[in-house]
Amino acid sequence: MMSTMMLAMAMMILSNVLMMLNTMISKKSINDREKSSPFECGFDPKSSSRTPFSLKFFLIAVIFLIFDIEIALMLPMIPIMVKLNMTQWMLTTMTFITILTLGLYHEWYQGALMWTK
């Protein structure tokens, strides 16, 4: 028991020493103007690097991610059909698809899917 505790203590000390050594070695000490500026084909950028982007693109990306996750959640429904009885499976599947349909209707009603607005 004592040897296990000593071994655990030695591993903790060794890992802490290695982490401290890593933080001391890896710090950049010189901040170069060229390295901290945005890079654009070797030239200085002509405009600000923080230009605003269209909120529509962001909204479409978020909607895509939501529907992508929903598809990943729907894929296991087919193999689960074998393990559940048909009424449980139908109730679970219809509840899930109803929630998805209501979410799609809400996004459509709010105008999130109107691209030319």
Q: Mean pLDDT over residues 104-108, rounded?
A: 84
The answer to whether position 97 is within a domain reads yes
pLDDT tens string 31-78? 666 666 666 566 655 666 666 777 777 777 888 888 888 888 888 888
The answer to whether position 53 is within a domain reads no
The answer to whether position 16 is within a domain reads no
Question: Does the pLDDT value for residue 29 go beyond 60?
Answer: no
Tell me the pLDDT band of 12, cut-offs 50, 70 and 90.
very high
The answer to whether position 84 is within a domain reads yes
Question: Does the pLDDT value for residue 109 go beyond 70?
Answer: yes
What pLDDT sits at residue 98? Answer: 92
Please state, in angstroms and rounded to a whole number, the distance separating the CA atoms of residues 6 and 17.
16
The answer to whether position 64 is within a domain reads no
Please state, in angstroms and rounded to a whole number, the distance separating the CA atoms of residues 99 and 69.
14
The answer to whether position 98 is within a domain reads yes
Question: Looking at the 3D structure of the chain, how many domains does it have?
Answer: 1
Domain that includes residue 97, residue range: 79-110
Between 113 and 10, the higher pLDDT residue: 10
Tokens 């109730």 belong to residue: 91
- How is residue 52 annotated by DSSP? -
The answer to whether position 54 is within a domain reads no
117 in Cβ contact with 111 (< 8 Å): yes
Question: Does the pLDDT value for residue 83 go beyond 90?
Answer: no
What pLDDT sits at residue 84? Answer: 83
What pLDDT sits at residue 46? Answer: 63
The answer to whether position 106 is within a domain reads yes
Taking the model in full, what pTM does it have? 0.46
